[in-house]
Homo-oligomer: A and B are copies of this chain.
Amino acid sequence: MNWKARLLKLNGLMPEMDDAGALAWSTLADAAEGAELVFLGLDDGKACFAAVPERGDASPRMANPQLWSLMATLSADDLALYGGARSIVDWHARHRFCAACGGDTKIGKGGWQRACTVCGTEHFPRTDPVTIMLVEYDDGSGAKLLLGRGLGWPERAYSALAGFVEPGESIEEAVAREVLEESGIVAKEVHYIASQPWPFPSQLMVGCHAVAENDEITLDTTELADARWFTRAEVTAALNGDENAPMNTPPRQAIASHLLKWWIEKGA
């Protein structure tokens, strides 16, 4: 039997860092008395755990600038580990009661489930699929890409349109519905490109490409501050950090950044 185990150091939901700029770890002995523990998996022969904090994230869809700049310094492995751990301990902290009967729930199955102590209903962590799409139009004068600026975003911040997949929809149907709702553009030939987990709170971002049938934008002002078309030259300038570019690109950790690079690299 191997008793080697380590505990991810978190301050609430924020990661703590060691001197080398990696995620910091302590031992299970450091867990608070009675803390709920989630088993994250084995790493280098050691069982890794994270403790459920007292409170979850009250507004998980809002970016925390301090956390974002910290995440930008993490290695890809640490980023993936932190993201998965954060999603699940945050879910536990926000699901201490049973949605079916209102009773107390208790952590189970190594932290990948909660069960109601009253009615026995089992609850599982959620992962919400979100489509995020590059919609392209070309009437022969050169390809252009539809990007939007969310409500409250900085003036030059544009990114790919995105939206949750709703019950009863395929990925392709969700892409077409979201694009039509937000911009009035009819999207066809939807193709999957890549996916990425996103831990605010627990999205599965599903990146797609689609072709627009029209280019006249009808903005849904309850969802977006603006939406417009960008040329390849404009997107390239933005990706290169050119000050004269008409937009700023999304942060490099976000799938939107990978998608924009994919669009430039794929060519016409």
**Chain A residues in the interface with B (C-beta under 8 A):** 56, 80-81, 83-85, 87-88, 91, 94-105, 112, 121, 123-129, 164-172, 192, 194-197, 199, 202, 204, 206
A197 touches B97 (CB 8 A): no
A170 to B80, CA, bound (A): 10
CB-defined A-B contacts under 8 Å, sample of 12: A80-B168, A81-B168, A83-B168, A88-B168, A94-B99, A94-B121, A96-B99, A97-B101, A98-B99, A99-B123, A127-B129, A172-B195
Q: Is the pair A166, B100 in contact by a Cβ cutoff of 8 Å?
A: no
Q: Which residue of B lies closest to A101 (CB)?
A: B97
List the 4 closest pairs (A to B, CB-CB), nearest first: A84-B168, A87-B167, A97-B102, A192-B192
Give the CA-CA distance A164 to B81 in the complex, in Å: 18
Q: Which residues of B contact A172 (CB under 8 A)?
A: 195
A171 touching B206 by the CB < 8 A rule? yes
- Return the contact of A125 from the options B85, B125, B167, B192 (Cβ within 8 A): B167
Which B residue sits closest to A114, measured CB to CB?
Answer: B99
- Beyond the given A84-B168, A84-B169, please list 6 additional residue pairs across the A-B interface where CB-CB is below 8 A: A88-B167, A94-B121, A99-B105, A102-B103, A127-B167, A192-B192
**B128 close to A166 (CB less than 8 A):** no
Give the CA-CA distance A124 to B121 in the complex, in Å.
19
In the bound complex, CA of A136 to CA of B123 (Å)? 34
Among B167, B195, B199, the residue within 8 A (CB) of A170 is B195
* Cβ contacts under 8 Å, A104 to chain B: 102
- Residues of the B chain whose Cβ atoms lie less than 8 Å from the Cβ of A192: 192
Looking across the interface, which residue of chain B has its beta carbon closest to that of A166?
B127
A168 touches B97 (CB 8 A): no
Q: How far is the CA of A164 from the CA of B126 in the complex (A)?
A: 10
* A204, B96: Cβ atoms closer than 8 Å: no
Task: Tell me the minimal C-beta distance from A180 to chain B in angstroms.
Answer: 13
Q: Which of B80, B97, B168 contacts A199 (CB 8 A)?
A: B168
Give CA–CA (A206, B128) in the complex, Å.
13
